Structure 1
């Protein structure tokens, strides 16, 4: 039987942290949570998992990979810990500053890591399809329409911008539109249009657990990789 990957969850009090905790307990998760870290903790141990406050980060037990869904102000500390212990990092923390993005790039020369604005495996495939379409459809109009719930404040979404970056690197000039309505979890439509024809590439999320499942999937694959920065799409197999 394969030995479970030892996971440290950084940002465990958030929605993603809680989903990671819940899904990692499933028999087929392939992971075991050795500790969690949150800004504040009320108990030292919950359901057998040690809980650490952010100020106690240096005291966490050994782990194979840290999964970070926190805030930009907490990112530097978890990156430094992974570098100090030579452990892999999987991060979905958004809003990183240019300096933090530069630190992430520098860290990839020493440890294996993945940073993504969206850990859906389907979105990873969509990213590759968009890139391929943009290469083949030079001169076509490219429009990205993203839809989310009314509480989402940033627009365009980070995922839309990532898809647009993929299209732009392949020669397209993406335009964006954002919809905020109801309780939509997330929909991304990338449309390529020319005279008389149109191609639509779309991904719809109907359950937020897909993002936690994706992060656990990536963690199981990236921790054993040599130092480098890996996209989610490179770790699908």
Structure 2
């Protein structure tokens, strides 16, 4: 039997990092070979399984990605934009598949990720779930079918610790709506409103963000027209679905040529 491909997880102590490690070790298709955390983190040097409150997994937490990259064919990265950009360059040098769930990336960040994707497989998505990616497709189709008599609003809710807004998923949905109308989101983007804002601009796409408690992720795309509303919704009730999607993307990526892919590619959508 062929050896399972090795995976290194960035941000091992985070919500997604822990879930990814759990999903990898409980599955039989991939094996954990690296757990990376920032310099100075309390977990450094500890076995990651023990640090998570469980049994030893034989993988020590490190702040140096270079050693895990000698054993890993896959890097999974739900961290911060600066970390992800640096990781993309290293993963490209090692020709490792880089799965990116990091949100809040700038155009400059994405340009650097594109450059890395010339040498290695990168799968990047603001959301790795099947349901959300189906919602993206539905949003594009509904936006294409309705003219600008229907106002579009994207409303998202996440836990109190999330640091970026709108969420990466909300931006995916906004991009899909703009694409359906064959316009550039940057030209019609409206952030959350405050004060005397004046009337809503026709054709604009609005965004609102809710932060509180332990909400995993909720997204609504509202098409509000004269006398009626259409609301497309997705509710995440288990963070494991994002880990499952990331691992699916990882296995898929091993079979691809270098390039910058999305979950729509992974799911054949």
TM-score of the alignment, normalized to the shorter chain, above 0.5: yes
Q: CA deviation at 1:82?
A: 1.1
Give the secondary structure class of the aligned counterpart of 1:93: coil
- 1:148 and 2:158 matched: yes
User: Structure 2 CA distance, aligned partners of 1:45 and 1:156?
Assistant: 32
Map 1:53-92 → 2, pairs under 5 A: 53-54=62-63, 56-60=64-68, 61-92=70-101
Aligned-CA RMSD value: 2.2
Q: What displacement does 1:72 show?
A: 2.8
Q: Return the offset for 1:187.
A: 0.9
Is the 1:33–1:49 Cα contact (8 Å) retained in structure 2? no
Q: Is the 8 A contact 1:167 1:173 kept in 2?
A: no
**2:15, 2:212 → 1: CA distance?**
20
Deviation string for 1:105-129 (max 9, x for gaps)? 1122221111122222211111111
Distance 1:169 1:21 in 2: 35
Superposition TM-score, scaled by structure 1 size: 0.88
SS of 1:219 mapped into structure 2? helix
Corresponding position of 1:159: 169
Cα distance in 2 for partners of 1:9, 1:147 equals 26
Distance 2:214 2:34 in 1: 32
SS in 1 for 2:33: strand
Rounded to whole Å, the distance in 2 between the matches of 1:143 and 1:221 is 33
Structure 1 residue aligned with 2:10: 10
More strand by share: 1
Name structure 1 gaps, 5 residues minimum: none
The structural deviation recorded for 1:179 is: 2.7
Cα deviation per residue 1:30-76 (whole Å; 9 max; x = unaligned)?
A: 2211222112413267523332522x322223222110122233223
**Is the partner of 2:86 in helix, strand or coil?**
helix
- Cα deviation, residue 100, structure 1: 2.1
How far 1:3 moved relative to its partner? 5.4
- Which stretch of the first structure deviates more once superposed, 65-74 or 215-224? 65-74
Q: Residue 143 of structure 1 contacts residue 192 of structure 1 at CA under 8 Å; is this kept in 2?
A: yes
Is the CA contact (8 Å cut-off) linking 2:6 and 2:31 kept in structure 1?
Answer: yes
Contact 1:36 1:50 in 2 (8 A): yes
The one of 210, 231, 234 equivalent to 1:179 is 210
